[in-house]
Amino acid sequence: MQSKSEFLHDKLKTFFGFSSFKGQQEEIILHLIEGGDSFVLMPTGGGKSLCYQLPALIMEGTAVIISPLIALMKNQVDAIRGFIYESEGLAHFLNSSLTKSQINEVREDLISGRTKLLYVAPESLTKDENVQLLKQIKISFYAVDEAHCISEWGHDFRPEYRRIQPIVNEIGKAPIIALTATATPKVQSDIQKNLGMSGARVFKSSFNRENLYYEIRSKSNVDREIIKFIKNNPGKSGIIYCLSRKKVEDVAELLNVNGIKALPYHAGLDASTRSSNQDRFLMEEAEVIVATIAFGMGIDKPDVRFVIHYDIPKSLEGYYQETGRSGRDGGEGQCITFYSYKDIQKLEKFMQGKLISEQEIGKQLLMETVAYAESNICRRKLLLNYFGEEYNQDNCGACDNCLYPKKQFEGSEEISLLLELICSMKENFKAEHIANILSGVNNSIIKSYNHHRHELFGAGSSKSIKFWLAVIRQALILHLLDKDIERYGLLMCTEKGREFLEKPYSVMLTQDREFQEEDDEEDAQSSSAGRAGGGGGDQTLLSLLKDLRHSLSKRLNLPPFVIFHDPSLEDMSIQYPMTLDELKSCQGVGEGKARKFGKEFVELIAKYVEENEIERPLDLVVKSVVNKSVNKVFIITSIDRKVPLEEIAEAKDLDMSQLLDEIESIVNSGTKLNIDYFIRQSVDDDKVDDIYEYFKTEADTDSLKVAVDELGKGYTEEEIRLVRIKFMSEMGN
C-alpha cells in the first residue's frame, strides 16, 4: 500500500512534472491534508503557491484562495489550467473583472463540484451573494495568500483583509493556510491573531537568498546608469520599480527611445493593457517591465535577472519582496536601488493627512529603509536581522558593503555612552531623540523633557546625529538594544546590553555611507563638473569647452552658467555630441539651449574628435524623450494667460515649491516664460532689481543656497526663485 509521502510524490509528478519537493513543501501539504492550520513564511521563489495548489487538486471539495491582485489570479489560474485536464478539476477566479455570463459560468462549475481552486479577492469574498454561493459548496480549505496585507505593520496593509476571519466563520469552518514571503515578527503575530489561528503550526524557511546581489547607488545620473546597466546585460529580463505612475510611463518611454524593449505597468492603465503587458513580458516580447509595486506579486517568471528600484521603497518588507522577484530559479539576481534622501522627504509628504497612528507606523518603516540604505554593514545581515533571523558570516560576498568595505573603528566607548543614556532615561525614547541628546541638539522637544539638563547631554557632540544613528543601528544588530514595535520604536536596553555596561568589550563599528543628492534641476545647476560624471570625462576637451563658454559669455555679456552649467559641459566631455540632436541628450541641455548656444560647441567637439581619432561611446549617448508633460503644457498656456501661480498650482494639485520646480525645468530647457505679472504682485520692485543684478553681475553660480547666503535675511527663498526664473528666461532663452 502506498504511503502518504509516495502518494504526494506521484501527484506532484502527475500535475506539475516535478520529482521532488522543495524545502518544507511536503511537510506543509501533509499538515494541511490532515486538517491542521498552517502559517507559511517562505521567501519569494521558495514555492509557496504549490503548498496550496497541490492539496487543492487532491482534496475533496473546493479550495478558496484569497488573493489581493486580479493580475496575480489570472496568472495563477492560467498556470493551473496548463497543469491539469478538465476531467481532473477546474480553476476559476471571482473578481470585479468578470462579465455577468462569466460569473454565471463560475457559479455553475462551483455548484457542480467541478471547481478545485477558486481564487477570490477579499472585496469579492465579503459580497453577500458570494457568501451565500460559497455556503452551498464543500470547501476543502482556505488559503490566505500575501497574508502580510492583514497587518498595519506590513508593507501593503489592506483593511478588507481584516474581515476575512468573520466571513470565513459565516461561510463555514475549514483548515486555513496563511502564506507570505515577508513578515517581521510583529507582522507574523498580527497575521495569526487576526485570522484566529494562534495555534497554527508555523513553517518558517530562511529569508536568505544567497543568489541575490544587493547594491545601493546614489541617485545621480540615474537614467544613464540604468540604460548603461541594461545594455551591459543584453538579453536579460528585468523589472524596474518606480513610486509614481508618471515616472513609470517616463522611464518606459526613455528606455524604448534608447533601443530597450520596455513596457509600463501600473493601476492607471486599463485592465486589458495591464494584462497584455504582463503577458508580453512573460513571453519575453519585452526585456524590461517598468512598474509600480502593483506588479509582480505571484508572477511566475523564474529568470528575472535584475530588479532595479528607481525610487527607494516605503519599507524593507516591500524592498525584500520586490528584490525577491529576481533569480527565482536560483540563478543570478542583481538588485540595484537608487537612493536619495529627497525621495524619503517625498514619501513623508505623502503621509500627511493620514491618521497619526498610520503616520507613526509609516515613518518608522521608512526610517528602517533609510537605515538599510545608508549603512555600511553587510546588507544580507541587516535584512535577515530585520526579519528576526541571524546571519553569522562576517562577509556575504554578494553586496556592495561586503565587496567594498569601509574601515572600521573601535566603538566600545560610543556603545557604552549610548547604553548608559538609554538606561538612565527609563527606555522611553526613539533613536532620533537619543541621537539628538548625545549630539547636543537643543530643540523644543529636548527642552520639553528637560533633557538639555541631562548629565549626558552633548556628551557625544564631537560626532554628528548621523554618526549616533549609525551606532544605534549597529547596537540593535548586536542585540545590545531592542525596539519596542508596539510603541512605535522606543529603544530598550537588552540583557546583553546591560551585561556590556557591566563588562565592556571590544566592538568594531563602521560609519554610514555618504550619498550624493539626485541630479534634479537645482542640483544640476549648482553642481561642479567633477561631480556629474565622477571626473570620468575627457579633461582636455572639458578645458576647451570651458574656454569656449568663457569667450561666449564675454561676447554675449552673460554669466557663464546662463549658457551651460558645468555638469552639461562634463556630460559633453563624456558623450562627444557632434550634432544638436545629440547635444540635447546631455544633462541640462534642452532644445532651446541647444539651438541658441549649441552650434559652436558641437563644431568644437566634432573637430576635436576628428583630430584626435576618438571612438565615441555611442552606447552611452542617452537619447532624451520629447517632453509631452500635460502639466508643462498646462503651465505654459496658463502663464501666457497670466493666471495667478497659486491657481495653477491648485489646478494641478501642487504646492508652490513643486510648481516652481516645474517652471524652472521648463525655463532651463530653453522655453521662455514671462512671470512678471506675478512677480509685480509678490515681490517689491527694489528686491527684484537687487536679486536680478546679483545674478547678472555678482553670481558665479545660480545656486539658490549661495544666493540666499549672499543676499541675506531680507530676501525669502521664494522671492529669489521667482526672480531667478525671470533672469534665466530673459537672459538665457
**560-596 pLDDT per residue, tens:** 888 888 878 888 888 888 988 888 878 778 777 888 8
Mean pLDDT of 225-235: 89
SS (H, E, C) 428-446: CCCHHHHHHHHHCCCCHHH
Query: E strands along 398-532, which residues?
Result: 408-410, 481-484, 490-493, 508-510
Is the pLDDT assigned to residue 83 strictly greater than 70? no
**Degrees (nearest 5) of the Cα angle 571, 575, 580?**
90
Per-residue pLDDT, 189: 83
φ, ψ at 307 (rounded to 5°)? -125, 120
- Looking at the chain, the domain(s) classified CATH 1.10.150.80 span 521-620
The reported pLDDT for the residue numbered 545 is: 93
pLDDT of the residue at 1:
64
Predicted confidence band at 536 (pLDDT cuts at 50, 70, 90)?
low
Asked if residue 520 lies in contact with residue 661, where contact means CB atoms within 8 angstroms, the answer is yes
- Give CATH superfamily name and number for 521-620: HRDC domain (1.10.150.80)
Top CATH class of 4-204 equals alpha beta
The C-alpha angle 178, 308, 397, rounded to 5 degrees, equals: 85
* pLDDT value at 693 more than 70: yes
Q: In angstroms, how far is CA 545 from the centroid of its own chain? A: 37
**Mean pLDDT, rounded, for 348-368:** 76
Output the average pLDDT for the chain: 82
* CB 292 within 8 Å of CB 245: yes
Taking 80 as the threshold, does the pLDDT of residue 249 lie above it? yes
CA–CA dist 329, 352 (Å, integer): 40
Is the pLDDT at 619 greater than 80? The verdict is no
Residue 317: per-residue pLDDT: 84
348: which 3 cell numbers?
A: 513623508
pLDDT value at 381 more than 80:
yes
Give the number of other CB atoms < 10 A from CB of residue 288. 24
Rounded Cα distance, 536 and 303, in Å: 34
Q: Sign of dihedral through CA atoms 656, 659, 661, 667? A: negative
Nearest to 561 by CA among 546, 544, 571, 572: 546
Distance of alpha carbon 510 from the chain centroid: 25
The three grid cell numbers given for residue 574, joined into one nine-digit string: 563624456
pLDDT, tens digit (0-9, with 9 covering 90-100), for 389-407: 888 888 899 999 899 887 7
Of 632 and 660, the structure prediction assigns the larger pLDDT to 660
Strand partners, 590: none
Helices 431-439, 412-424: axis angle to 10 degrees equals 110
With a pLDDT cut of 70, the percent of the chain lying above it is 88
| pLDDT score of 489 more than 70 | no
Q: What percent of the chain has pLDDT over 90?
A: 20
Q: pLDDT band for position 531 (50/70/90)?
A: very low
- Which of 56-60, 70-74, 187-191, 451-455 is the least confident region? 70-74
What letter represents residue 60's amino acid? E
| Nearest-angstrom CA–CA distance, 319 and 371 | 13
CA-CA distance, 27 to 8, in Å (whole number)?
11
Q: What are phi and psi of 61, to 5 degrees?
A: 100, -165
Between these two residues, 14 and 310, which has the higher pLDDT value? Answer: 310
Class for the domain spanning 630-732: mainly alpha
pLDDT at 269: 85
Question: Could you give the residue range(s) of every CATH 1.10.10.1390 domain in the chain?
Answer: 630-732
Residue 527's pLDDT band, with cuts at 50, 70 and 90, is: very low
The domain 406-510 having CATH identifier 3.30.565.10: the answer here is no
| Local confidence band at 525 (pLDDT 50, 70, 90 cut-offs) | very low
Cα–Cα dist 137/92, whole Å: 15
Average pLDDT for 25-52: 87
Q: 212-348 in CATH: which number? A: 3.40.50.300
Rounded-to-integer distance, Cα 253 and Cα 402, Å: 35
Average pLDDT of 650-670? 83
Report helix, strand or coil for 62: strand
Cα radius of gyration rounded to whole Å, the chain: 29
Does residue 80 have a pLDDT over 90?
no
